[in-house]
Amino acid sequence: MTTKTFDPSSIPADRKATFNQIKRVSFRFASKGFKAVERTNDYRLATVIRALILKYHNEVAKDELTHGEIQKLLEAKVLPKRYRDLYDASYSAPESSKAVPQKAVKTAPEPSKEDVVNTLKDVLSTLSLEEKMELLGIEVEEPEVELDDELEAALVS
């Protein structure tokens, strides 16, 4: 019993290329290296190449990539210039596509009104009357008291 192998030439050349066919082409050129970018890994490079091919056909040529064009690309030794020209070397992708979550900043719970009043009372209880008045910005002048001669003499002696 013989097994038949799939013959890609049996597919009509004008049929729209599938995503997997475009993916195959991009991986083929990624494994050969694409000199316009620094080689990181084949998957990332294949993604760039696939984007270039799709961009060309969606924005520049405004036509669909066909199975016949896929077959020509698979036979090519290098990625055609029309795709390479779309590569913008000045663009630099972010380091990671995943958003880095911000660490939550722990804040002390806001004290209740009672706690604030009690703390203030404790602090004020340690101050003398003069310190409290100074803190509040109150100036008290000593009243002038008239002393009679006997009392003044008693105080002086």
Question: What's the mean pLDDT in 89-115?
Answer: 72
Instruction: Render the chain in DSSP notation, one character per residue.
Output: -PPPPP-GGGS-TTSBPPHHHHHHHHHHHHHH--TTS----HHHHHHHHHHHHHHIIIIIS-S--BHHHHHHHHH-SS--HHHHTT--TT----S-SSPPPPPPPP-PPPPPHHHHHHHHHHHHHTS-HHHHHHHHT---PPPP-PPPHHHHHHHH-
Query: Which range, of 30-44, 96-110, 114-128, averages the lowest pLDDT?
Result: 30-44
pLDDT of 150 over the 80 cut: no
Q: In the chain, what are the domain boundaries?
A: 10-84
Question: What's the mean pLDDT in 34-54?
Answer: 75
Residue 30 confidence (pLDDT): 82
Question: What's the mean pLDDT in 39-59?
Answer: 82
